[in-house]
């Protein structure tokens, strides 16, 4: 099913408003989800609406949070999210970080006690659209074994980065620090298909190809990905005085509970370094250099990070966004949620 960006935005907004969010917050969440679907990151788009609707309806997301922006130094601040929707808190915190970096050259803004905030590319692109470099990291539920471990400790803790080039084009890099997302395991289960033995481990910590035996995911590149997810947890959890490691709340465990998650935005103003125009020129040169690299056998071309997503976004602008039929049916139905996510288990069934 193909829908326009505007139509998808309205469907998502209406559903979340019906679940209990204010129109303003429902619209803010829809902005981030439509951004993800438009870039082809469907794991963080409309697919999440029913889960959010259930959590909002059950009280696990504060419908009327008391957002507070607390400046703690010339370039530092904490945005208190009061367990409202993470998307809106993270977006407002980035707006504040942009103002601070314009004035002082750099800003480090923690976003404290929020719900899930979705695809981090949205927030770093806010910075790039303002001619700034954006970095954002956040905590997620513990479902990854530390290197050499048999039990989960960290989340899929993502890292996102965007830098502005010329003509409104950006380099946008945005990834989870795990080999694969949990959604890919669920997908393999639904199709009864084996998974590669590099994705996940069973309850003994042994690599498994059986998606039904998966007990935890594996970090990217062994100890290196494990180190990166540790770094994300320190910056977005410990630095903000929040629950960390395996004490981070689970997405599916109890949908009546607030999640108390943390996120950190770092914004850097190129004007305070090489200067904006030479920075943008060099970023565009980097993009071109990468595109001009000779492709390896089996590849058509080298893309710079975020290029394929930006191309998808352009194509979707013309042809509409591809949405899975059953998600479209849910969005256009009167149902708020089907009570299918609250399973008292750390993992979705
Ligand atoms: P992915 O594996 O689809 O992409 C990772 C990066 O690789 C992207 O920057 C992409 O542009 C780049 N890339 C992919 N193919 C490429 C190619 N052929 N050439 C050059 N670059 C290429 O992303 P992943 O790890 O599945 O993450 C998906 C989303 O999930 C992200 O938006 C992330 O922020 C979000 N996420 C959010 C969490 C949360 O708790 N809020 C937790 C984990 C992930």
The phi and psi torsions of 336 (rounded to 5 degrees) equal: -85, -50
User: Does the pLDDT of residue 345 top 90, yes or no?
Assistant: no
What's the domain range around 272? Answer: 2-282+307-332
Residue with CA closest to ligand 1 atom 1: 175
Q: Tell the residue number behind the tokens 């607390």, with chain if given.
A: 70
CA angle 141-203-256, nearest 5°?
A: 30
Single out the catalytic residue among 9, 17, 80, 116.
Answer: 116
pLDDT digits (tens, 9 = 90+) for 199-208: 999 999 999 9
pLDDT digits (tens, 9 = 90+) for 210-236: 999 999 999 999 999 999 999 999 999
pLDDT digits (tens, 9 = 90+) for 287-304: 999 999 999 999 999 999
Instruction: Please give the distance, rounded to the nearest whole angstrom, from the Cα atom of residue 155 to the centre of ligand 1.
Output: 15
In the predicted model, what is the mean pLDDT of residues 314-329? 92
User: Does the pLDDT of residue 198 top 70, yes or no?
Assistant: yes
Whole-angstrom CA distances from 33 to 8, 62, 234, 275 are 9, 19, 27, 33
The phi and psi torsions of 306 (rounded to 5 degrees) equal: 90, -10
- Ligand 1 near 120 CB (within 6 A): yes
Buried b (16+ CB within 10 A) or exposed e, 85-121: bbbbbbbbbbbbbbebbeeebbbbbbbbbbbbbbbbb
DSSP 145: P
User: Does the pLDDT of residue 346 top 60, yes or no?
Assistant: no
Atom of ligand 1 nearest to the CA of 176: 25
Q: What CATH code is carried by the domain that includes residue 82? A: 3.30.1370.60
pLDDT digits (tens, 9 = 90+) for 104-160: 999 999 999 999 999 999 999 999 999 999 999 999 999 999 999 999 999 999 999
Structure token digits, residue 97: 């970080």
In the predicted model, what is the mean pLDDT of residues 308-312? 97
- CA gap 87, 104 in Å, rounded: 25
The pLDDT of residue 349 is 53
The pLDDT of residue 233 is 98
In the predicted model, what is the mean pLDDT of residues 52-60? 97
Residue from 239, 244, 265, 259 nearest 142 by CA = 244
Q: Please, which pLDDT band fits residue 190 given cuts at 50, 70 and 90?
A: confident
Domains in the chain, number: 1
Instruction: Please give the distance, rounded to the nearest whole angstrom, from the Cα atom of residue 174 to the centre of ligand 1.
Output: 5
- What is the rounded average pLDDT for all residues in the chain? 95
Within a domain: 146: yes
- Ligand 1 near 177 CB (within 6 A): no
Give start and end residues of each alpha helix (H) in 194-274. 223-236
Instruction: Please give the distance, rounded to the nearest whole angstrom, from the Cα atom of residue 310 to the centre of ligand 1.
Output: 13
Q: How far is the first Cα of the chain from the last one, in angstroms, to the nearest whole number?
A: 26
Within a domain: 287: no
- Ligand 1 near 160 CB (within 6 A): yes
pTM of the model: 0.97
Within a domain: 298: no
Instruction: Please give the distance, rounded to the nearest whole angstrom, from the Cα atom of residue 71 to the centre of ligand 1.
Output: 31
Half-sphere exposure of 206 (CA within 13 A, CB side): 5
In the predicted model, what is the mean pLDDT of residues 263-274? 98
Within a domain: 348: no
The phi and psi torsions of 302 (rounded to 5 degrees) equal: -90, 130
Residue from 251, 275, 269 nearest 108 by CA = 269
Contact (Cβ atoms closer than 8 angstroms) between residue 336 and residue 15: yes
Contact (Cβ atoms closer than 8 angstroms) between residue 84 and residue 91: no
Residue from 32, 310, 40 nearest 164 by CA = 310
Within a domain: 337: no
Give start and end residues of each alpha helix (H) in the chain. 5-19, 23-38, 49-58, 86-104, 121-129, 182-191, 223-236, 276-292, 307-319, 325-332
- Ligand 1 near 125 CB (within 6 A): no
- CA gap 348, 182 in Å, rounded: 9
User: Does the pLDDT of residue 31 top 70, yes or no?
Assistant: yes
Is 116 designated active site?
A: yes
Within a domain: 300: no
Structure token digits, residue 155: 């989340």
Region of poorest pLDDT, from 116-120, 318-322, 333-337, 340-344 = 340-344
Instruction: With H, G, I as helix, E, B as strand and everything else as coil, classify residue 204.
Output: coil
User: Does the pLDDT of residue 344 top 70, yes or no?
Assistant: no
Within a domain: 299: no
- Ligand 1 near 121 CB (within 6 A): yes
Residue from 193, 189, 236 nearest 81 by CA = 236
Q: Please, which pLDDT band fits residue 317 given cuts at 50, 70 and 90?
A: confident
- Ligand 1 near 41 CB (within 6 A): yes
Region of poorest pLDDT, from 53-57, 255-259, 320-324 = 320-324
Residue from 287, 325, 309, 11 nearest 166 by CA = 287
- Ligand 1 near 173 CB (within 6 A): yes
pLDDT digits (tens, 9 = 90+) for 62-99: 999 999 999 999 999 999 999 999 999 999 999 999 99
The pLDDT of residue 348 is 56
Q: Please, which pLDDT band fits residue 191 given cuts at 50, 70 and 90?
A: confident
Q: In a mutational test of the pocket of ligand 1, which residue from 51, 116, 141, 158 has the highest number of ligand atoms less than 8 Å from its CB?
A: 158
How many CB atoms are located within 10 Å of the residue 135 CB?
21
Within a domain: 260: yes
DSSP 295: P
The pLDDT of residue 253 is 86
């Amino acid at each position: 099913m193909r829908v326009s960006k505007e139509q998808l935005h309205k469907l998502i907004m209406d559903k979340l408003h019906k679940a209990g969010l204010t129109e303003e917050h429902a619209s803010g969440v829809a902005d981030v989800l439509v951004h993800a679907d438009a870039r082809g990151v469907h794991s963080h788009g409309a697919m999440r609406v029913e889960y959010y609707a259930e959590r909002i309806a059950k009280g696990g997301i504060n419908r009327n949070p008391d957002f507070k922006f607390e400046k703690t130094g010339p370039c530092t601040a904490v945005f208190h999210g009061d367990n409202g929707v993470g998307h809106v808190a993270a977006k407002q915190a980035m707006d504040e970080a942009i103002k601070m970096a314009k004035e002082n050259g750099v800003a480090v803004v923690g976003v404290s006690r929020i719900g899930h905030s979705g695809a981090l590319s949205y927030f770093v692109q806010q910075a790039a659209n303002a001619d700034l470099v954006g970095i954002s990291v956040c905590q997620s539920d513990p479902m990854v074994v530390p290197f050499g471990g048999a039990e989960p400790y960290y989340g899929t803790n993502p890292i996102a980065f965007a830098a502005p080039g010329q003509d409104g084009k950006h380099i946008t890099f945005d990834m989870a620090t795990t080999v694969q997302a949990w959604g890919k395991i669920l997908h393999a289960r639904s199709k009864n298909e084996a998974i590669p033995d590099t994705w996940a481990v069973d309850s003994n910590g042994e690599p498994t190809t059986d998606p039904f035996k998966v007990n935890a995911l594996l970090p990217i590149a062994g100890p290196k990905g494990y180190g990166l997810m540790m770094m994300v947890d320190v910056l977005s959890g410990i630095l903000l005085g929040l629950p960390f490691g395996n004490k981070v709340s689970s997405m599916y465990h109890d949908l009546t509970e607030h999640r108390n998650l943390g996120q950190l935005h770092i914004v850097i103003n190129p004007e305070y370094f090489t200067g904006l125009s030479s920075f943008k020129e060099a970023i565009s040169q980097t993009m071109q250099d990468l595109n001009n690299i000779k492709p390896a056998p089996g590849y058509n071309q080298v893309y710079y990070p975020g290029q394929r997503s930006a191309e998808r976004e352009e194509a979707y602008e013309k042809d509409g966004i591809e949405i899975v039929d059953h998600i479209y049916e849910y969005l256009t139905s009167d149902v708020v949620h089907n009570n299918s996510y609250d399973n008292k288990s750390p993992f979705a069934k």
